[in-house]
């Protein structure tokens, strides 16, 4: 039996950044912990996101090391595909303290950086091993191998300090078989105090909330999305509907959960399955409010499905429409959205009284100012309660990254680990500069969302903040932009 501490990575946030950090229950890591328990391993967690801003986390961690006496310390993300700028230095610091306590402890590093930049990850984190991609199965195989006293060789996704070649990215094939997540072992009630205030994924109806996964992956081919890269392939894995319903019933009845945020990358990809889940929630009388934090594909929605979502407790739609130009969607982004049908879906959703958040992206290399204007026009329509704009960022492993390298916008060995939340321009074209994009992003976000008192009131309710707090966020956003471009004032 091994004893394992999971360190949950937290985001490195600039003091000038206006967006508040979002604390997620680490559902993928909790699923991994439940898998390890099947091999009689004992697991606990140390979530850096739960530590106060000015609190010394090292004292608590050293005490945990002494009390728990682990054989393994694993640094894992809140969510594998939820884009953040993780604090790699904190991971290195936790590994340092672990080795100081007991040099025999094995340290393992998982997550986006480890997957995207494995050699840099090994060096910067000082880990004994890194795992690329989905890590539940790889961690189990690695720990079981080490516990047997044998050298871990050729485990997909695993690289060690002495590895001479880069391992393929792991795609776990056991998602549907994973046991009920280790909510208790990860002290799920701690997360009630972090409902996401000031964030578009705020738990609006109850702070007794948590996160859950019904599926992993996405088969769409959006050029800028790195989900298929981080998950080792363009695959869509699901938990059986009855398993999902059993888990939801247990969460609400046994754990007292009143709101659930699903972190599926594309929860409605299979509409029939989604309807079966919604019908099961109603039939079993499982009462909770919910949103799909990872978003829903608008091309999968229709009136019947929207009605099912509403009846089962869904109250907010996060919709990544991306562009107001059909040409950009089809030929640049490669997202299967028909804008005419999307507008019909938005009208139905509005009539059914959903809160609607729209996600848009600007700044693709071949995009024109006219096409960006079409996106801004769509975002300003009355269908949306709130919209966000991202600047196209060539993340590792994406078709967009490859295209940027080929066009000379990005060096082949350049890593963009310093960019968080896709808020920063990374290149200029004949149509726009990085400054242009960042200005459009800030100005349009502010103008479209906050022009009327009624809109501000709705947004404050959705984010759990006061008008004064909203004003502060807007001011900080403006200051952040001006601090990046002082020469353009």
Distances (CA, A) of 145 to 70, 109, 127, 140, 333: 17, 17, 17, 8, 42
- Residues written for the chain: 489
Packing angle of the helix pair 467-484, 434-450 (nearest 10 deg): 170
pLDDT grade, residue 18 (50/70/90)? very low
Distance of CA 227 to the CA centre of its chain: 10
Break the chain into its structural domains and give their ranges. 3-160, 200-485
Q: Which long-range contacts (CB under 8 A, 24 or more apart) does 330-338 make?
A: 332/223, 332/364, 332/366, 332/367, 333/222, 333/223, 333/224, 333/361, 333/364, 334/221, 334/222, 334/223, 334/399, 335/220, 335/221, 335/222, 336/220, 336/299, 337/298, 337/299, 338/299
C-alpha 179/C-alpha 26 separation (Å) is: 15
pLDDT of res. 86 = 80
Grouping H, G, I as helix, E, B as strand and the rest as coil, residue 355 is strand
Query: Is the per-residue pLDDT at 84 higher than 70?
Result: no
| Tens-place pLDDT, residues 123-132 | 999 999 999 9
Query: Is the per-residue pLDDT at 17 higher than 60?
Result: no
pLDDT of res. 115 = 94
- How many other CB atoms are found less than 10 A from the CB of residue 18? 18
Q: How many helices (H) and strands (E) does the chain have?
A: 17, 14
Query: Is the per-residue pLDDT at 471 higher than 60?
Result: yes
b (16+ CB within 10 A) / e for 412-429: eeeebbebbbbbbbbbeb
CATH topology of domain 3-160: Rossmann fold (3.40.50)
| Tens-place pLDDT, residues 270-323 | 999 999 999 999 999 999 999 999 999 999 999 999 999 999 999 999 999 999
pLDDT of res. 422 = 65
b (16+ CB within 10 A) / e for 256-294: ebbbbbbbbbbbbbeeebbbbbbebbeeeebebbbbbbb
| Residues contacting residue 119 through CB under 8 Å, at least 6 positions apart | 166
pLDDT grade, residue 152 (50/70/90)? confident
| Tens-place pLDDT, residues 349-397 | 999 999 999 999 999 999 999 999 999 999 999 999 999 999 998 888 9
Q: Contact, 357 vs 390, CB < 8 A? A: no
| Residues contacting residue 408 through CB under 8 Å, at least 6 positions apart | none
Q: CATH number of the domain at 200-485, out of 3.40.640.10, 3.40.50.2300, 3.80.30.20, 3.90.245.10?
A: 3.80.30.20
């Amino acid at each position: 039996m091994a004893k394992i501490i999971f360190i949950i990575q937290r985001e490195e946030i600039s003091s000038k950044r206006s967006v508040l950090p979002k604390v997620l229950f680490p559902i993928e890591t909790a699923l991994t912990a439940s898998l390890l328990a099947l091999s009689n391993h004992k697991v606990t967690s140390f979530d850096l996101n739960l530590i106060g801003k000015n609190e010394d986390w090292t004292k608590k961690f050293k005490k945990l090391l002494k009390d728990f006496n682990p054989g393994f310390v694993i640094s894992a993300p809140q969510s594998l595909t939820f884009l953040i700028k993780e604090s790699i230095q904190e991971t290195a610091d936790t590994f340092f303290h672990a080795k100081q306590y007991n040099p025999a402890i094995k340290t393992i590093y998982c997550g986006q950086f480890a997957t995207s930049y494995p050699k840099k990850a090994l060096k910067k984190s000082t880990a004994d091993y890194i795992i690329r991609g989905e890590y539940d199965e790889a961690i189990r195989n690695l720990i079981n191998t080490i516990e047997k006293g044998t050298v871990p060789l050729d485990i997909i996704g695993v690289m060690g300090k002495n590895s001479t070649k880069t391992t393929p990215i792991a795609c776990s094939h056991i998602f549907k078989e994973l046991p009920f997540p280790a909510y208790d072992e990860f002290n799920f009630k701690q997360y009630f105090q972090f409902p996401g205030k000031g964030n578009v994924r705020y738990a609006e109806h109850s702070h007794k909330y948590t996160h859950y996964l019904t599926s992993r992956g996405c088969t769409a081919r959006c050029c800028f999305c790195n989900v298929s890269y981080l998950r080792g392939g363009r695959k869509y894995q699901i938990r059986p509907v009855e398993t999902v319903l059993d888990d939801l019933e247990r969460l609400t009845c046994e754990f007292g959960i009143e709101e659930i945020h699903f972190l599926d990358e594309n929860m409605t990809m299979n509409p029939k399955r989604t309807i079966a889940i919604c019908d099961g929630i109603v039939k079993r009388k499982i009462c909770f409010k919910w949103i799909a934090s990872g978003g829903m594909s608008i091309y999968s929605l229709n009136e019947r499905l929207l009605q099912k979502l509403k009846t089962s407790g869904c109250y907010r739609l996060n919709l990544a429409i991306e562009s107001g130009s059909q040409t950009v969607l089809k030929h640049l982004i490669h997202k299967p959205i028909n804008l005419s049908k999307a507008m019909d879906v938005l009208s139905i959703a509005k009539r059914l009284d959903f809160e609607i958040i729209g996600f848009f992206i600007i700044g693709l290399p071949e995009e024109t100012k006219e096409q960006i204007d079409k996106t801004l026009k769509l975002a300003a329509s009355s269908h949306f309660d709130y919209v966000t704009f991202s600047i196209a960022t060539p993340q590792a492993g994406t078709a967009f990254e490859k295209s940027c390298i080929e066009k000379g916008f990005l060096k082949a060995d350049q890593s963009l680990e310093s960019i968080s939340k896709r808020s920063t321009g990374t290149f200029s074209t004949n149509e726009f500069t990085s400054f242009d994009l960042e200005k459009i992003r800030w100005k349009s976000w502010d103008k479209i969302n906050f022009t009327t008192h009624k809109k501000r009131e709705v947004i404050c309710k959705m984010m759990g903040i006061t008008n004064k707090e909203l004003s502060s966020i807007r001011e900080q956003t403006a200051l952040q932009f001006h601090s990046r471009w002082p020469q353009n004032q």
